[in-house]
Amino acid sequence: MSGLKTLLSDIEVGPSVGAGTFGIVYKGRWKGTSVAIKIISHQGAGHSSNARTSREAMIGMASSHPNVVAVYRVVTAANEVVALEVVAVDGYNLKTYIIMEYCDKGNLESHREEGWALMRSDYQKGLVWVLRCLLEIVFGMEYLHSLSIVHGDLKCANVLCKSSTSDARGFTCKVADFGLSQTGVTDGVTAITSKPGTAVFAAPELLRTDLEDIQVTYQVLEKDWRPEFPEQTPELYKEVVSQCWATEREDRPSFKDVRGSLTDMLNQEFATRRKSLPSQRSRSAEVVDMRALLGTNEPAPRVHPHSG
C-alpha cells in the first residue's frame, strides 16, 4: 500500500481538459513533466467497466509510435469515496489513473474549421493541410494494425493534436482513446462485432448491431447513403475515400494501401506547387520556398519493389 501511495503522490492533478469515451481527462504533472491524466472509475475483475479500462491501459502501454498518444504509467487504487456511497452513486469501487502524453492543441475536431478556412483561401495549400493530417492518422493506425489492434471508434474527436514548431499547421496528429479497441485481430481489418462507438463513423456491418440510431442505420444500409464531396475535391481523393466507404469490408483498402495513395497525392501537390513558382528561381530556392510555404519536408517517393 505504501508503494501505491508513493506512485499516487507523484501525480499532480490539475484542471479538467475534456473527456474520453470513458473517464475524465485532466491536465497535470508527473515527475516534473506536463501530462494528461485520464481518471476512470470502474468495478473490479469480471465487470465490463474493468475490461474497458484494462484494455485502454494495456494498449497505451504497449504502443510506441509518434502518431499514437504515449502512455507513461497506469496506477489503480481503491476509490477514495466511502464504499457504501460508491455503491449508492455509481457502483464503482476502483479508480485508475492513466498518465499520458499531453497534447496541448486539443483534438482534430476542434481544428476542422481551420482546415476548411485554409481550403477556401488557398485550396492547394489547404489540401496539403488535410493530407498531412490524414497521413499522420494513417501512420498511427497502420502501426496499431501491425500489433493486431483495431481502434473501434476512430474519428476526429479521438485524434489529439500536439504542438509542433516544425510544421506550418502548428501541430502533429496522434491517435488516442482505446476504450472500445479490440486486440488479437490477425488480419487488421476483421470487423468488430460489438456495438459501434459512434454510429455516424461506423462501418455498415457494425450498424447492423446498433438499434439505437435508427436513422443512420437506415440511410447507410437501406439507402446506401454517403456524404457528398466538395466541388473541388480531386478525383484520386474521391476514389480513395469511396473505397474506404465500401459496404463490404473485403472491398476496403488496408491502411498500407491508403498510405500509398495519400503519399502519391501529396507528392503530386508538391510537384504542382513547384511548377507554379517563378521559372527564374533555382531548384534549390524552390525547395526552400516550398518548405517555408507548407512547413514540411517533401515526402520520400514511394519505392515500388521489383518482382522476382
Pair 205, 100: CB distance under 8 Å: no
Q: What is the DSSP string of the chain?
A: -HHHHHHHHTEEEEEEEEE-SSSEEEEEEETTEEEEEEEEEE--TTSHHHHHHHHHHHHHHH---TTB--EEEEEEEE-SS-HHHHHHHT---EEEEEEEE--TT-BGGGGHHHHHHHHHH-HHHHHHHHHHHHHHHHHHHHHHHHTTEE-S--SGGGEEEEE-TTSTTSEEEEE---TT-EE--SSS-PPP-S--S-GGGS-HHHHTT--S-HHHHHHHHTS---PPPPTT--HHHHHHHHHHT-SSGGGSPPHHHHHHHHHHHHHHHHHHHHHHS-TTS-HHHHHHHHHHHHSSPPPPPPP-PPP-
Beta-strand pair 182-183/149-150 = antiparallel
Distance between terminal CA atoms of the chain?
A: 61
Residue closest to 273 by CA, chosen among 257, 289, 255: 289
256 is in an annotated binding site: no
Which residue positions form the known binding site for ATP?
A: 38
Which residue positions form the known binding site?
A: 38
